[in-house]
Amino acid sequence: MKTKKIAYLGLLVALAFIFSYIETLIPINIGVPGAKLGLANLVIIVALYTIGEKNAFLLSMVRIVLVGFTFANLASMLYSLAGGILSFLAMCIAKRSGKLSTTGVSVVGGVFHNVGQILMAIWVVKTASLVYYLPVLIIAGLASGVAIGILGAMVTKRVKKVVNWD
């Protein structure tokens, strides 16, 4: 990996970390576990479209572990991990299909992030009634996915214009 790329990846990690922190400050607390604004996903999307799947995945995992140790406890980290991995896999598949724009890919990511979290939560606390939150979580993931996707496409365009990897 070129030095420039490493520096860029470091920058993205820092950005994702800051976004996650901002997210803990904004109380969009609707009494539904697993619903997040998904600001950090903006960074993941930009990474996915600029430095590829492997680096974007690395970024996503590093962010979750960092944030988990700083702002949450171990159980919460487990939920984020499930959401993060499922969301990332879903976004890769969606992107590779070539049928969706950045918005569509981001929507897939947002929805699967919330679904992954709640599935992990159901498994950890053994409470099936958590499925009751599924509709709200799908809508929340959808809404944030659209916003993040539109923003992500704009940022990606600009980054690609400025940075030349090779």
Which of 33, 92 has the CB closer to other proteins? 33
Please pick, from the candidates 11, 18, 75, 154, the single residue that binds other proteins as defined by CB under 8 A. Answer: 75
Rounded Cα distance, 35 and 38, in Å: 9
Helix, strand, coil shares, percent, the chain, to 5: 85, 0, 15
- Of 4-23, binders to other proteins (CB under 8 A) are none
Give min distance, CB of 166 to other proteins, in A.
26
Contact mark string toward other proteins, 90..129, x via CB under 8 A: ---------xxx-xx--xx--x---------x--xxxx-x
Please pick, from the candidates 66, 76, 151, 156, the single residue that binds other proteins as defined by CB under 8 A. Answer: 76
Among candidate residues 57, 24, 39, 13, the one with its CA nearest the CA of residue 145: 39
Q: 30 — phi, psi (to 5°)?
A: -105, 20
Which of 12, 105 has the CB closer to other proteins? 105
Which parts of 77-123 are beta strand (E)? none
Give min distance, CB of 89 to other proteins, in A.
17
For residue 48, what is the enclosing H or E element? Answer: helix 39-50
Give min distance, CB of 18 to other proteins, in A.
18
**How many Cα atoms are found within 13 Å in the side-chain-facing hemisphere of 29?**
4
For residue 13, what is the enclosing H or E element? Answer: helix 3-25
Q: Is 29 in the site for other proteins (CB under 8 A)?
A: yes
Q: Is 3 in the site for other proteins (CB under 8 A)?
A: no
User: Cβ distance 84 to 124 under 8 Å?
Assistant: no
Q: Contact residues for other proteins (CB under 8 A)? A: 24, 27, 29-34, 71-73, 75-76, 79, 99-101, 103-104, 107-108, 111, 121, 124-127, 129-132, 134-135, 138-139, 142, 146
